[in-house]
Amino acid sequence: MAVPLFDTATALAPLRGELHDALLRTADGGAFILGPEVGAFEQEFAGWLGARHAVGVANGTEAITIALRALGVGPGDEVVVPSFTFWASAEAIPPTGATPVFCDVDPETMCVTAETVKAALTPRTKAVIVVHLFGNVAPVAEIRRETGLPVLEDAAQAAGSTLTADGDPTHPIARPGALGDIATFSFYPSKNLGGFGDGGAITTNDDALAERVRTLRFHGSADKVDYVEIGYNSRLDELQAAVLRVQLPHLNAWAAHRAASHVRYHRAGIDELVQPPVAAPDATPAWHLYVVRSPRADELVAGLQERGIGARAYYRTPVHRQAPMAVFQPDGLADLPVTDELARTHLALPISATITEEQIAEVVGAVGDVLAG
C-alpha cells in the first residue's frame, strides 16, 4: 500500500458542498479584495486563536516582513532567527533592511531556546523570530523574559498546536500565534490550515501593532488617500478567506488527529527504529510534518520512496549555509553544531489530518524493512 507524505484531499472531501457554496457566494458577491469574507475570517481566526487581532495578508513570507516592519525593524538592525527552518523564516528579514543573525536549536524539540537565542544577541538585535518548527512549540515566554526583546512567532507550521499547563489538550491555555508580541501564519495549501492558493495572516494582542500591519498591507495607507509609509500590496484575497472559513471549524479535530498520529507511530514501534520527534514541555503539537532522525536518513528516504512511502528531508542544507545568506555572515558562517547534525539526520514520514492506523503501520513496517536491508 502506497502512503503519501501528506494528504489534504481526504480531509476536504466531506466539505466539498460547503466549499462549492463558499466559492460561488464570493463570485456572486463581486467583492474580491478586502471584502466581507476576509473581514469575517479575520474575526473568526482571532477568536479561535485567542488573540485580539488577525490581519489577512498575501502569504506567510510577506507576513513576516510586514510584522517585522510593524515592530520597527529596519536598516542597521539585527534579527535573530534559527537556521534549521524553512528558508522563508530568514528570507523575510533582508527586505526590511535588517540583517539575519542565525542561532542554533535544541536537539530534542528542534526549536530555538532562550540559551540559543542569547548566544546570538548583540547590541544591534532588535527582535527575535521564533519558529514553532514542525508544529512543536518554542518557549516564547522564556525567550521574551530572558532577552527583553520583542518576539515574532513564525507559526506557519503550528496552526492547531496547543500549550497546556496540565498536559491535557482539551484544556488549552494558549496557542502558538498568541504567545508573543506578534505572530505570522501561512495558509499555503499543505499547511495545517491551507487555502486553494497562497494566503497568510498576522496576529497580535497589541492594538497599535495591528493598526500598523493593516496600513502596511495596503500600500502604507489607512484611507487610500494619504500614504504614510512605504508599504506592500499584500492582502489575503476573498476567495481564499471564503475557503478558509469553511475549514476553520474543523481545525481542532484535524490537529487532534495529527497529535494522535504521533501516539500511533509510537505504538506501531517507530521508536525502536528511528528517533521520533519530542514534544516541548506542556505542548501538544499538531505535527505538521512528522520528522524523525536517523544516521541512515538518506538511505531511508530512498528506500521508502522505492516502496511507495512518501519521505523526504526538508532542510538538508540549513538556511545559514545557503549561498544568498553568506553576505550576512562576513566573518564566516555561524557555528551551529546542532543545526548541522539535524540537517544531516532528519527525514519526514507521512502525516496528515486523516492518516489511518493501517497507513502508519505500513510506514513503520517499511522503515523496518529498509533498515534491515
| Interface residue list for ligand PLP (CB under 6 A) | 59-61, 85-86, 88-89, 131, 154, 156-157, 186, 188, 198, 200
Least Å distance between CB 134 and ligand PLP?
9
CA angle 157, 279, 172 (to 5 degrees): 75
What count of Cα atoms within 13 Å lies in the side-chain half-sphere of residue 3? 23
Residue closest to ligand PLP (Cβ)? 60
**Which one, of 187, 205, 188, 193, lies nearest residue 54 by Cα?**
205
Closer residue to ligand PLP, CB minimum distance, 183 or 301: 183
Cell triple for 80? 535573530
Q: 48 or 185, CB closer to ligand PLP?
A: 185
133 or 246, CB closer to ligand PLP? 133
Between residues 157 and 359, which has the closer beta carbon with respect to ligand PLP? 157
- Residue 137 CB, shortest distance to ligand PLP, in Å, is 13
Instruction: Give the residue with the Cβ less far from ligand PLP, 289 or 363.
Output: 289
| Nearest to ligand PLP of 135, 303 (CB atom) | 135
Query: Quick one: cell of 279?
Result: 514534544
Kindly report the three-state secondary structure assignment for every residue of the chain: CCECCCCCHHHHHHHHHHHHHHHHHHHHHCCCECCHHHHHHHHHHHHHHCCCEEEEECCHHHHHHHHHHHCCCCCCCEEEEECCCCCHHHHCCHHHCCEEEEECCCCCCCCCCHHHHHCCCCCCEEEEEEECHHHCCCCHHHHHHHHCCCEEEECCCCCCCEECCCCCCCCCCECCCCCCCEEEEECCCCCCCCCCCCCEEEEECCHHHHHHHHHHHECCCCCCCCCCCCCCECCCEHHHHHHHHHHHHHHHHHHHHHHHHHHHHHHCCHHHCCECCCCCCCEECCCCCEEEECCCHHHHHHHHHHCCECCECCCCCCHHHCHHHHHHCCCCCCCCHHHHHHHHHEEEECCCCCCCHHHHHHHHHHHHHHHHC
Distance of alpha carbon 47 from the chain centroid: 19
Distance CA 348, CA 362 (A): 15
Q: How far is the CB of 365 from ligand PLP (least distance, A)?
A: 29
Residue among 83 and 359 whose Cβ is closer to ligand PLP: 83
Q: Shortest distance, CB of residue 340 to ligand PLP, whole angstroms?
A: 19
Shortest Cβ distance from residue 301 to ligand PLP (Å)?
19
CB of 111 to ligand PLP, least distance (A): 11
Residue 365: which residues within 8 A CB-CB, separation 6 or more? Answer: none
Q: How far is the CB of 198 from ligand PLP (least distance, A)?
A: 6
Q: Indicate the residue among 154 and 238 with the shorter CB distance to ligand PLP.
A: 154
Q: Which is nearer to ligand PLP, 135 or 350 (CB)?
A: 135
Min CB(177)–ligand PLP separation in Å: 12
Min CB(190)–ligand PLP separation in Å: 8
**Residue among 129 and 270 whose Cβ is closer to ligand PLP:** 129
Rounded to the nearest whole angstrom, what is the least distance from the CB of residue 246 to ligand PLP in the complex?
19
